Structure 1
Amino acid sequence: MYGLIFIFAFAVLCSLIFAFILRFTSAEEGMLQYIITALSFIALFGGGFLSGGKRKEKGWLIGGLTGLIYSLVVFLFQYLGYDRLFDTEQVIYHTCYTLIAMMGGILGVNIANNNSRRSS
């Protein structure tokens, strides 16, 4: 749950910042596409990392579930709000998001386990 909260809070904060940038500068959305994508990957990695660190076991599973739940929420928002399914590009992105969250979960478990071994 902490991972999903982190992901959505990070996304809201980044969206607010980019909305201000797009509103008050001459920047266009296409110019920021790669930055936004990179920040999305960072958000998913961080969410998986937090989830794995809290759980302290099966990081690949908890990170993967975090990524899948994120993708499900985005899919439901898009389908119910805009009456559109994912296109091929979005399926690829969300598959990568889930894999990145899994990697974050694995790293989160390993760092949490290393810290608990040092303190004992």
Structure 2
Amino acid sequence: MEESKNVGGGILYGLIVIFVLAIVCSLIISLLLTFTSLQESSLQFVVTAISFVSLFIGGFVSGGKGKQKGWLLGGLTGLIYSLIIFLFQYLGHDSLFDTQQMIYHICFILTAMMGGILGVNMSNKSRTAA
């Protein structure tokens, strides 16, 4: 029972971190686009990089909170994130993922897995040091 609580809590914390980072970064980017002469196309690489960093941090948090099976926690965090984005896109815009988006979301899941692995290992180091 305790293990499933750690898994669920870790994934929830990871998703919250991902969406909070996404909201904050979206606000900053929208302010930059509004009040400067920057174009949306010039920030495409920055937005992609921020997305990967957010998923990595979310996976890291989920792995750290779950304390075991970081690859699974990070992968589930990335998968649930992708499913939420898919639902927004499908229900809001009536469109499915195209091939490029599928590749991005597979890479997002892999990135969150790497973050989860690192998060578990960092939480294990802090426990053994104490």
Looking at structure 2, the residues matched to 48 and 92 of structure 1 have their Cα atoms a distance apart, in angstroms, of 18
Measure, in 1, the Cα distance between the counterparts of 2:98 and 2:24.
26
Cα offset, 1:65, TM superposition? 0.1
Q: State the Cα distance separating 1:57 from its structure 2 match.
A: 0.2
Aligned to 1:71: 82
Give yes or no for the alignment of 1:45 onto 2:61. Answer: no
Q: Residue 30 of structure 1 corresponds to which residue in structure 2?
A: 41
Classify the secondary structure of the residue corresponding to 1:26: coil
Q: CA RMSD in A?
A: 0.4
For residue 80 of structure 1, what is the amino acid of its counterpart? L
Quick check: 1:62 aligned with 2:57? no
Once residues 82 and 88 of structure 1 are traced to their aligned partners in structure 2, the CA distance between those partners, rounded to angstroms, is 17
Runs of 4+ displaced beyond 3 Å: none
User: Which whole-Å CA distance do the structure 1 matches of 2:65 and 2:19 have between them?
Assistant: 18
Task: Find the partner of 1:8 among 16, 19, 22.
Answer: 19
Unaligned runs of 5+ in 1: none
2:129 is equivalent to residue 108 of structure 1: no
Q: Give structure 2 stretches of 5+ with no counterpart.
A: 1-11
TM-score normalised per structure 2: 0.91
User: Post-superposition shift, 1:44?
Assistant: 0.1
Q: Number of residue pairs matched?
A: 119
